[in-house]
Structure 1
């Protein structure tokens, strides 16, 4: 099963935007992520709709942060990218009339909901500014070179 990497990719992008002087174009971001600029624009539009980034069209345009990294949490971005499923496992619905299947599904659903709530709380407590604090300061140009390989 393929993992949904939208959250990780957008966190990566937003931190770069926050450290970049000026706007970053969809083409720059797409090259960094080895993705299609149209996909980047579509995903970034969701972040713009939430007020997390701004965009300017045309020459000299691109994407900039509408809020500082300190004011954006993992939970904000998780929700903005559509709240992708956290779990690859889930309840079965092969025999909806079976009482045992219903009991199993109820138990699993309760556990999944509890784990998801805990993860949401953790996401709410981490800002995007907290993420790069664990590595040494590097220039944006050096960071761009590392991410484009």
Structure 2
């Protein structure tokens, strides 16, 4: 079965809310999904999934350092050709998801656009956008499996 790993680091809980809503959208399209904060993941395990979505809040115009290190370790495992997605919450600048997506593209991943950035705590409309991203990821995964 096609599988998606959702890895996130959330400082205030907003990125976690996004991750869970993305997972809901993915599972509605019958794709197996595992969503956990990055402490629960080993990059080697995440690299075995067909798709990987990574979320980080933005801190001082960057992705959180533990996520940056996780992403580097994940890429070292070999992720070329896999589906990737980036998301995150922010207070005022919001660069982290864009940086994650850039690194994924450089590693040869097929990144789902647009990158999802939500300011502050996601409201109901924002969570629906997250579910939509989950569905888009699922459709891209299904297309990849057919190729």
The answer, yes or no, to whether TM exceeds 0.5 is no
Higher helix residue share: 1
Higher strand residue share: 2
Question: Normalised by the size of structure 1, how large is the TM-score?
Answer: 0.30
Question: Normalised by the size of structure 2, how large is the TM-score?
Answer: 0.31
